[in-house]
């Protein structure tokens, strides 16, 4: 009902005295501010070029993807001193110590050069931290950038990590809907709300970390464009499905993810597809709720 009122409510006129007060206020950002890139010719970077070339490169990508998913789903190995030392360094990293921590982490990884899975385990830990704790995304992206200078193979690893397919396999399990208080106990209700919020933040965190990596030239524009294309195609398919609380929640999470990417890339990246979705009659989009519809409209205005 609140969202429905947004387009019909009569707005009050602001007095000149109030305008003067507002103009004297200090404006502070409440979220990361990204400088949008101008359209440029896509650059070919090692790893991205290889993925569309030889069968050997395709095999390498397949190995990486399988290794990344396997590492994510495997229980943590607690008797690996090198791994534990690196996780401790990552947990303590701040902006002023990024280079020092990266150098130490590199030296440890270098001693395990014959085990490429170890490098993937380390990147998985850092990437997981950046996605699950987006307020550290900037510092952790700096750490990844510093490691990539020393470990070129990590750039190829990132090409796999920053794909929607890998995100779905690594983070997105069954979609959690906001619980109804009457359906669960008090304790279970609180747990479900926490799980619901965590899942929403993961998708947002993935978008933020991908943008931070993109701004450091660690992820190609084609890769980000591919993520947006996949997300919008899934969105257009999901909004048409029969009304279902799980699908409605998934639609809203996808729009949140697209919104984070648009903050950096600009609306041009999704304008045509978003307009096409909004043009679908409401009777044919039972899973596009008013909240999600307004989010899409806000994306077009951004």
- Enter the tokens of residue 194: 């926490």
**How deeply is 32 buried, as exposed, middle or buried, from its count of CB atoms within 10 A (0-12, 13-18, 19+)?**
middle
Of the chain, the end-to-end C-alpha distance in Å amounts to 24
Q: Phi first, then psi: what are they for 6, rounded to 5°? A: -60, -35
Nearest to 212 by CA among 270, 160, 153, 158: 158
- Chain centroid to CA 172: how far? 12
SS3 content of the chain, % helix, strand, coil (to 5): 70, 0, 30
Distance CA 23, CA 209 (A): 34
Nearest to 45 by CA among 224, 255, 274: 224
Most distant pair of Cα atoms in the chain: their distance: 70
Q: What CA–CA distances, in Å, run from 138 to 131, 133, 185, 290?
A: 11, 10, 39, 33
Nearest to 104 by CA among 153, 142, 143, 139: 143
Residue given tokens 């993807």 in the structure block: 65
Residue given tokens 């991205």 in the structure block: 48
Q: Give the predicted TM-score (pTM) of the model.
A: 0.64
H/E run at residue 203: helix 186-215
| Whether 217 contacts 155, CB under 8 Å | no
List per-residue pLDDT tens for the chain, 302 residues long. 555 555 566 666 777 777 766 665 544 444 444 444 443 333 333 333 334 445 555 666 777 777 777 777 776 777 889 999 999 999 999 999 999 999 999 999 999 999 988 998 999 899 889 888 888 889 999 999 999 999 998 988 887 777 666 666 555 566 667 677 666 666 677 777 777 777 767 777 777 788 888 888 888 777 777 777 777 888 888 899 888 887 888 888 788 878 877 877 788 888 888 999 999 999 999 999 998 999 999 999 87
Provide the 8-state DSSP code for 180: P
Distance CA 204, CA 202 (A): 5
> What SS3 state is found at 120?
helix
pLDDT of 32:
46
Cβ within 8 Å of residue 94, ≥6 positions away: 139
């Amino acid at each position: 009902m609140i969202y429905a009122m947004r387009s019909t409510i009569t707005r009050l006129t602001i007095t000149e005295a109030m305008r003067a007060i507002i103009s004297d206020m200090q404006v502070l950002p409440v979220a990361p501010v990204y400088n949008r890139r101008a359209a440029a010719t896509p650059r070919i970077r090692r790893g991205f070029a290889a993925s569309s070339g030889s069968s050997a490169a395709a095999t390498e990508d397949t190995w990486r993807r399988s290794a990344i998913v396997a590492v994510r789903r495997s229980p943590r190995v607690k008797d690996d001193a090198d791994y534990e030392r690196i996780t401790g360094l990552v947990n303590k990293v701040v902006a002023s110590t990024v280079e020092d921590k990266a150098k130490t982490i590199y030296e440890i990884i270098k001693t395990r050069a014959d085990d490429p899975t170890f490098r993937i385990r380390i990147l998985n830990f850092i990437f997981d931290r950046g996605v699950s704790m987006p307020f550290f995304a900037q510092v952790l992206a700096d750490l990844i950038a510093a490691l990539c200078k020393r470990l070129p193979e990590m750039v190829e690893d990132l090409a796999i990590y920053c794909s929607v397919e890998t995100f779905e396999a690594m983070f997105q399990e069954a979609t959690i809907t906001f619980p109804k208080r009457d359906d669960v106990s008090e304790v279970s209700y609180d747990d479900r709300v926490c799980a619901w919020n965590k899942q929403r933040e993961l998708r947002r965190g993935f978008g933020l970390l991908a943008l931070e990596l993109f701004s450091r030239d660690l992820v190609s524009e084609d890769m980000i464009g591919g993520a947006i294309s996949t997300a919008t195609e899934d969105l257009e398919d999901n909004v048409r499905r029969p009304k279902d609380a799980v699908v409605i929640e998934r639609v809203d999470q996808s729009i949140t993810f697209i919104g984070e990417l648009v903050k950096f890339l600009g609306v041009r990246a999704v304008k045509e597809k978003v307009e096409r979705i909004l043009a679908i009659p409401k009777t044919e989009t039972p899973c596009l709720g008013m909240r999600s519809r307004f989010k899409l409209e806000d994306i077009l205005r951004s």
